[in-house]
Structure 1
Amino acid sequence: MSANNPVAFRPLHESHAIEQVVISVHFANVLPEEVLRAGAASMLQFKKELGGQQDITGVNLSLGPGGVAPMVLPSFQGQARFATDNAGVLLKELRLEAQAIVFRSQRYTRWNALWKEAGKYLEALLACAGDAQIASLNLQYTDKFLWQSSPGSCRSDLLLRRDSPFVAPRIFDAGDLWHCHSGRFERLNDAVQRLEIVDLDCIDEGPEQPGTEPTRAVLITTSVSDRFNRPGYHAVDFPARQALAGINEVFNNLHTQVKSVFSQIITDEISDSIGMNDVDVE
């Protein structure tokens, strides 16, 4: 916010705008039931910090030449462990799913601290997965910015770069809510295909009190994935049991790329307000 623009966006938190971070490992095939049960047993060691527990159930469908058909899944499809605050709001969750390990946190501080925690969970579950081949590694951030005046006066150009390659120009003239999606594949090298996805959503939240206006907000979801054994790429052997040494470097690189993409979306003023240019920000 500046003297020339007394009304502007503020980040969700005092020092950053991050609402949620999701770190995930996806496997090429459905994990056997014995692997899922071993992983669930291993997750018991995190009971103190992730006190909530819920088995994963549901029906998965696949779309093929013959139409929609149920996927063949084990009778036990995984487990989630989670932590909530006193009001029951989710703080963080670790999920072992039929074809993925997913950790998400809504209490972000710094990347190094988050990765230290997530890495501990991944290490335990990847050890259980053994020879299961890893298909992709994904990092996703969702940032939220709140407009500080009436919804109808919202100016997206005070948050988003007009010349950003990730922002559709027409949203700057939108008088109502809007959504913008972009995505692209990049050949990182002969073995790795990178996928970048950006979703921008202008939404109204609330109102908190009857008779008052809702709060207009813009969500920026930035996702970067490294994908392996894709058509046209060199085949690689990437079993879970050998992934522990390599995923630290991959996820740090994904984090760097997410920051790079995000910096191309928001204005310099917003970037300065959340310390994106500070050397010690992780």
Structure 2
Amino acid sequence: MFEPLNKGHAISEATFFFEFENIPETALNLMLEAYQHVADILPRNDPMPGMIFEQSSAGFSMNQVPGAEWKHFRPDGSPDWLARITPNSVSVHCMEYSGWTLVWPIAYRILANIFQSCEDQTLPLINLGLRYVDRFDFKGNVADYDANLLIRPNSPYIASQVRDHGTRWHNYTGWFEPSEKLRMDLLQQLNVDAVEQGPTKLPIVSITHASLLRSQYPGQLDSFRRLTHISESSVATLMDIAHDNNHKLLRKVLTDDMLTRIGLGLGE
């Protein structure tokens, strides 16, 4: 049978991401100065310089620009929280998910400090959203593997032919859904990967689902970079919707038994 990665949920990572055409070096330096305000959450600060390509009358050049990863670690030395700043993106990653009401305020505080440090900078935002990765491990004899023990029969999001082809398969799809609250279309990206891990060839199914906004014209997403108060900002509305979308999607993908085991059963 399949087991969720954790007791009560299957989330291995939740990522809050902002992607840009480019972040000017001045803005990058301002973002990096915000570390002092979140060092209590992310005590490790690792420089992570990036490279950008620039064109001039003399041709193309490749230049190094600043970047960083800020981290918090579990007792075993693996990271459970991470913030990453690169020339094209800002993201916060939670690998120790403890519930939306606990995780989102921490992520918001980190993001707010980063973006408030460079509010007057021009940053062409092209994508932003929330991505979940849920992992399910098959326990038992591999000969008894059956994807239908995990995947809901006739799920509209999983191609029927992939279920009957052993322990290795993939299902990638995407579509847009209108949001009345945001008055924009949200892109839904769903990637399901069934693989055999390591020398034991343990069958694993990972479900990666993202809800994101994609810019259709310059400046369309500017308001989502203004993180004022968590209950008032546009990005908080987006992330709440994205969180709910993930639950709605999983209810159409997973069996009733698995939904109950991860706290998404009927009435939950």
Which has the larger displacement, 99-108 or 177-186?
A: 177-186
Q: Does 2:107 match 1:118? A: yes
**CA deviation after TM superposition for structure 1 residue 36, in Å:** 0.9
Q: Does 2:170 match 1:179? A: yes
Which has the larger displacement, 115-124 or 96-105?
A: 96-105
Q: Does 2:236 match 1:248? A: yes
Cross-structure match for 2:222 = 238
In the superposition, relative to structure 1, how do residues 237 and 47 fare at CA in structure 2: closer, same or farther (>3 Å)?
A: closer
Contact 1:31 1:129 in 2 (8 A): no
Partner amino acid for 2:236?
N
The TM-score, its normalising length taken from structure 1, stands at 0.81
In 2, Cα distance between the equivalents of 1:180 and 1:161?
A: 14
Cross-structure match for 2:49 = 57
- Unpaired runs of 5+ residues, structure 1, are 1-7, 63-68, 208-212
Cross-structure match for 2:76 = 87
**CA deviation after TM superposition for structure 1 residue 24, in Å:** 1.0
- Unpaired runs of 5+ residues, structure 2, are none
Contact 1:51 1:81 in 2 (8 A): yes
Deviations 1:193-217, CA, capped at 9 Å, x for gaps: 321111111122234xxxxx43211
Contact 1:129 1:241 in 2 (8 A): no
**CA deviation after TM superposition for structure 1 residue 166, in Å:** 1.3
In the superposition, relative to structure 1, how do residues 45 and 177 fare at CA in structure 2: closer, same or farther (>3 Å)?
A: same
**CA deviation after TM superposition for structure 1 residue 88, in Å:** 2.4
In the superposition, relative to structure 1, how do residues 10 and 72 fare at CA in structure 2: closer, same or farther (>3 Å)?
A: same
In 1, Cα distance between the equivalents of 2:225 and 2:158?
A: 40
Cross-structure match for 2:134 = 143
Identity of aligned residues (%): 20
* Superposition CA RMSD, Å: 2.6
Given the alignment, which residue of 151, 154, 162 partners 1:163?
154
Partner amino acid for 1:95?
R
Partner amino acid for 1:264?
K
Cross-structure match for 1:31 = 23
In the superposition, relative to structure 1, how do residues 237 and 85 fare at CA in structure 2: closer, same or farther (>3 Å)?
A: closer
Q: Does 2:184 match 1:192? A: yes
Which has the larger displacement, 154-163 or 244-253?
A: 244-253
Contact 1:127 1:240 in 2 (8 A): no
In the superposition, relative to structure 1, how do residues 191 and 249 fare at CA in structure 2: closer, same or farther (>3 Å)?
A: closer
Contact 2:174 2:190 in 1 (8 A): yes
In 2, Cα distance between the equivalents of 1:11 and 1:113?
A: 20
